[in-house]
Amino acid sequence: MYLWGKKGALAVFVTLLILLTVQGILKRKLAGAISVIIQILLFFAALGGLYLTYHDFRHDFTHKIIGERFHLGAYLFWMGWMVISLYYTFSRRQVLRVGADNTDQNTKPV
């Protein structure tokens, strides 16, 4: 059972990394308003998953007896996804400026 716990944690970690990467790509590639709308929709998808997980754990007898540690792990997955969505919803894009501001101060024109 100990090995299954490590494999499960690794699967959750990899899944959250994939979500982080995909949502980051969406943030960079899409226009500002569309990106925010998609991030909000993904937030509500995670919120719905959290609610359905809670409902399932409270009303399905076999899931009631699994244990509190398993329940906590499932809840943390959904909350992690919600944090990723909130991060990309409220983060600003970085604008890289190229020009006179980035020149080296020690060099002199020839």
pLDDT in tens, 26-61: 999 988 899 999 999 999 999 999 999 888 888 777
103 pLDDT more than 60: no
Distances, alpha carbon 84 to alpha carbons 31, 46, 102, 108, in Å: 18, 10, 32, 46
pLDDT in tens, 53-74: 888 888 777 666 776 767 788 8
79 pLDDT more than 90: yes
Rounded Cα gap, residues 4 and 6, in angstroms: 5
Query: For the whole model, what pTM was predicted?
Result: 0.74
